[in-house]
């Protein structure tokens, strides 16, 4: 059995935590439409904040008009 760099294989971890698999296999509880909307807004805000951190030089931005 090949050991990982941390000394524990995935099989060893799975064997050590036998009760974890059923918990991970459960379907998520359906959210309310309001909850889904709030989660989508929060995800959009997080994505917007991450995009704002990236500096893109003007030379790399595509032109608005694609001329032949």
Q: What is the pLDDT of residues 1-52, one digit of tens each?
A: 554 456 778 777 777 776 666 666 665 665 688 888 888 899 999 999 998 9
Greatest C-alpha distance within the chain: 62
> Would you kindly state where each structural domain of the chain is located, as residue ranges?
30-54
The whole-angstrom separation of Cα 14 and Cα 57 is 47
Predicted TM-score (pTM) of the model is 0.42
Sign of CA dihedral 58, 62, 66, 68: positive
């Amino acid at each position: 059995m090949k050991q990982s760099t941390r000394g524990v294989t995935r099989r060893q971890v799975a064997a050590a935590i036998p009760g974890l698999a059923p918990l991970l296999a459960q379907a998520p509880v359906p959210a309310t439409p309001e909850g889904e909307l709030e989660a989508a807004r929060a995800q959009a805000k997080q994505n917007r904040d991450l995009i704002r951190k990236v500096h893109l030089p003007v030379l790399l931005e595509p032109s608005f008009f694609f001329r032949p």
